[in-house]
């Protein structure tokens, strides 16, 4: 009953000066709303940055075939078989649960020609339909390789933009045929890709790659027409190799799954997990012969991209924390300022209450009730306005697109496509901090009011 009377008295005291109370609530409201809004905008930018980083291959694990060194191949009369095998690809797909997709790739250098024009030294790539999505290739005309092409081993091909321009400078390539002199095969062109700039090397993770002279065919067709034993002639030199797959690109569900999945891949293929684990194994079994790992396969993890993703996420977390602290600090200072002014104005009222028997605890409780009430009301309204962030941002952008499209087009792409995402964790945090700010910044004015001398307070005019 005592607490109820205290809350009623505190509420009545706030209603005596409605404009002052409203302005105090407005400070907390703006603080809470700004926290939720800026966190939502920051989360939207962070997700867009994560998508761009993943587009560079941060969620990919690349397993490559490596030609063994010459000392290993010494003593073999013919080409030494090496690298990834098709049964290993099947084993990886069937045993690793974190994979979103797996892409087998076979690459061969070939002379590609059409009609009487000079042959172009290009790269023949045997792949599956997922290759275009993984490498972000876009079609200019026609279509890409389909599952039916792989299943039926069709003699269809898709040309890179620059290769198509060199082979067909004055005609439409779709429906035409190109010729591979080494294997004496014809392939019908079913698609042409847009020009794709070469990718730069990323530290020690991803190597540079040029897509301008590529010709893509179903991997099953390449296996049937060319096979695993390949002889390549360049002028007076000739090289031979026996290999089933040049590369397997594995895509995982999340960037966080990259490193654990890479370790599973290494174990499955008989590779060391890392240097420390191999050292521990050898030291724990000194009497045994050291384990020999295969040298014709390497697992490449995009460490630089993973680190960039981690730093980007951490940067936004720090940014959001600073914004929350600054916004709510301003609201707390506003509460303290108003309550100090209130204490000065209500000095005589405090003296009367003390003279009638109110203790210091009663006075402190009354003023804390007022500050907490202001904080709770401001926090609740601020939370409600926080949910309006996505529709307001999208509506404003649509309005600008209708009336000022030139202005929107000059903005960065991330701003044009940004969609704020309300982080549900930020709502209780922002509301809880607003209440805590009301308590912390209301304690000093409450204690100051409680410590007043009742006689001096009664004399105050």
- Cβ–Cβ < 8 Å for 438, 375: yes
- Say if residue 280's pLDDT is above 70: no
- Say if residue 304's pLDDT is above 70: no
Most confidently modeled of 147-161, 280-294, 377-391, 399-413?
A: 147-161
The stretch 66-86 carries a mean pLDDT of 70
Q: With bands split at pLDDT 50, 70 and 90, how would you rate the model's confidence at 87? A: very high
- Say if residue 282's pLDDT is above 50: no
The stretch 198-215 carries a mean pLDDT of 67
Percent of the chain with pLDDT over 90: 16
What integer pLDDT is reported at residue 57 of this predicted model? 67
List the beta bridge partners of residue 127.
218
**Between 336 and 414, whose confidence is greater?**
336
Distance, C-alpha 118 to centroid of its chain: 45
The stretch 341-345 carries a mean pLDDT of 72
User: For the residues of 274-337, what is the DSSP string, one character each?
Assistant: -HHHHHHHHHHTTTSPPPPPPSSEEEE--HHHHHHHHHHHHHHHHHHHHHHHHHHHHHHHHHHH
Q: With bands split at pLDDT 50, 70 and 90, how would you rate the model's confidence at 393? A: confident
Comparing 177-186, 270-279, 402-411, 416-425, which segment has the lowest mean pLDDT? 270-279
- Cβ–Cβ < 8 Å for 173, 223: no
What integer pLDDT is reported at residue 73 of this predicted model? 53
Most confidently modeled of 2-6, 193-197, 453-457?
A: 193-197
Handedness of CA 90, 256, 47, 205 (dihedral sign): negative
What integer pLDDT is reported at residue 349 of this predicted model? 74
- Say if residue 461's pLDDT is above 70: no
- Using one digit for the tens of pLDDT, what is the confidence trace for 430-443? 888 778 877 777 78
156-159 and 185-193 strand pairing: parallel
What integer pLDDT is reported at residue 284 of this predicted model? 38
**Between 232 and 426, whose confidence is greater?**
426
What integer pLDDT is reported at residue 457 of this predicted model? 61
Q: With bands split at pLDDT 50, 70 and 90, how would you rate the model's confidence at 173? A: very high
User: For the residues of 111-158, what is the DSSP string, one character each?
Assistant: EEE-TTSPPEEEEEEEE-TTHHHHTT--EEEE----HHHHHHT--EEE
- Cβ–Cβ < 8 Å for 208, 195: no
Q: Could you tell me how many residues make up the chain? A: 461
What integer pLDDT is reported at residue 276 of this predicted model? 38
What integer pLDDT is reported at residue 406 of this predicted model? 80
The stretch 212-223 carries a mean pLDDT of 92
List the beta bridge partners of residue 107.
125
Phi and psi angles of residue 109, each rounded to the nearest 5 degrees, phi first: -80, 130
Distance, C-alpha 371 to centroid of its chain: 41
Two structure tokens written together for 317: 């977390």
What integer pLDDT is reported at residue 220 of this predicted model? 93
Distance CA 28, CA 16 (A): 20
What integer pLDDT is reported at residue 21 of this predicted model? 76
- Say if residue 395's pLDDT is above 70: yes
pTM over 0.85: no
- Using one digit for the tens of pLDDT, what is the confidence trace for 104-131? 999 988 889 988 777 888 899 999 999 8
Helix, strand, coil abundance in the chain, percent, nearest 5: 55, 20, 25
What integer pLDDT is reported at residue 287 of this predicted model? 42
The stretch 413-437 carries a mean pLDDT of 78
- Using one digit for the tens of pLDDT, what is the confidence trace for 229-249? 776 665 556 667 788 899 998
Q: With bands split at pLDDT 50, 70 and 90, how would you rate the model's confidence at 448? A: confident
Comparing 340-354, 370-384, 399-413, which segment has the lowest mean pLDDT? 340-354
Q: Quick one: 97 exposed, middle or buried, by C-beta within 10 A (0-12, 13-18, 19+)? A: exposed
Q: What is the mean pLDDT of the chain?
A: 78
What integer pLDDT is reported at residue 117 of this predicted model? 75
Q: With bands split at pLDDT 50, 70 and 90, how would you rate the model's confidence at 92? A: very high
The stretch 129-156 carries a mean pLDDT of 91
Distance CA 119, CA 110 (A): 9
Percent of the chain with pLDDT over 70: 77
What integer pLDDT is reported at residue 245 of this predicted model? 92
What integer pLDDT is reported at residue 401 of this predicted model? 81
60-65 and 156-159 strand pairing: unpaired
The stretch 204-223 carries a mean pLDDT of 81
Q: With bands split at pLDDT 50, 70 and 90, how would you rate the model's confidence at 37? A: confident
């Amino acid at each position: 009953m005592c607490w109820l009377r205290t809350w009623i008295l505190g509420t009545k005291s706030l209603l005596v000066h409605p404009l002052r109370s409203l302005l105090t609530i407005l400070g907390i409201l703006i603080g809470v709303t700004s926290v939720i809004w800026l966190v939502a905008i920051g989360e939207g930018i962070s997700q867009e940055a994560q998508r761009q980083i993943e587009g560079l291959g941060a969620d990919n694990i690349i397993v490559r075939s490596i030609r063994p060194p010459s000392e290993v191949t010494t003593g073999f009369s013919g080409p030494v078989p090496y690298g990834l095998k098709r049964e290993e690809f099947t084993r990886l797909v069937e045993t690793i649960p974190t994979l979103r997709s797996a892409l087998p790739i076979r690459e061969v250098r070939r002379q590609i020609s059409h009609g009487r024009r000079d042959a172009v030294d290009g790269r023949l790539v045997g792949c599956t339909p997922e290759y275009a999505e993984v490498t972000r290739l876009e079609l200019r005309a026609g279509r890409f390789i389909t599952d039916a092409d792989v299943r039926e081993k069709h003699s269809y091909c898709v040309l890179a933009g620059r290769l198509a321009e060199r082979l067909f400078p004055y005609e439409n390539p779709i429906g035409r045929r190109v010729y591979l002199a080494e294997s004496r095969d014809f392939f019908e062109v079913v698609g042409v890709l847009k020009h794709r700039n070469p990718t730069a090397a990323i530290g020690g993770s991803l190597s540079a790659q040029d897509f301008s002279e590529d010709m893509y065919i179903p991997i099953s067709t390449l296996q049937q027409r060319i096979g695993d034993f390949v002889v390549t002639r360049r002028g007076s030199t000739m090289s031979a190799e026996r290999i089933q797959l040049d590369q397997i690109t594995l895509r995982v569900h999340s960037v966080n799954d990259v490193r654990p999945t890479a370790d599973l891949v290494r174990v499955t293929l008989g590779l060391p997990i890392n240097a420390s684990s191999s050292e521990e194994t050898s030291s724990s079994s000194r009497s045994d012969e050291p384990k020999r790992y295969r040298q014709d396969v390497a697992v490449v993890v995009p460490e630089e991209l993973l680190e960039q993703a981690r730093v980007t996420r951490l940067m936004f977390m720090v940014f959001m924390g600073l914004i929350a602290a600054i916004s709510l600090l301003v609201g707390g200072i506003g509460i303290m300022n108003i309550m100090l002014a209130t204490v000065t104005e209500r000095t005589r009222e405090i003296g009367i209450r003390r003279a009638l028997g109110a203790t210091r605890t009663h006075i402190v409780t009354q003023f804390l009730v007022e500050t907490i009430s202001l904080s709770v009301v401001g926090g609740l309204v601020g939370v409600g306005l926080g949910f309006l962030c996505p529709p307001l941002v999208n509506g404003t952008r649509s309005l600008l697109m209708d009336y000022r499209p030139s202005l929107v087009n000059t903005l960065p792409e991330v701003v044009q496509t940004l969609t704020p995402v309300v982080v549900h964790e930020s709502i209780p945090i922002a509301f809880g901090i607003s209440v805590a700010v009301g308590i912390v910044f209301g304690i000093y004015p409450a204690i100051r009011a409680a410590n007043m001398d009742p006689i001096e307070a009664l004399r105050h005019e």
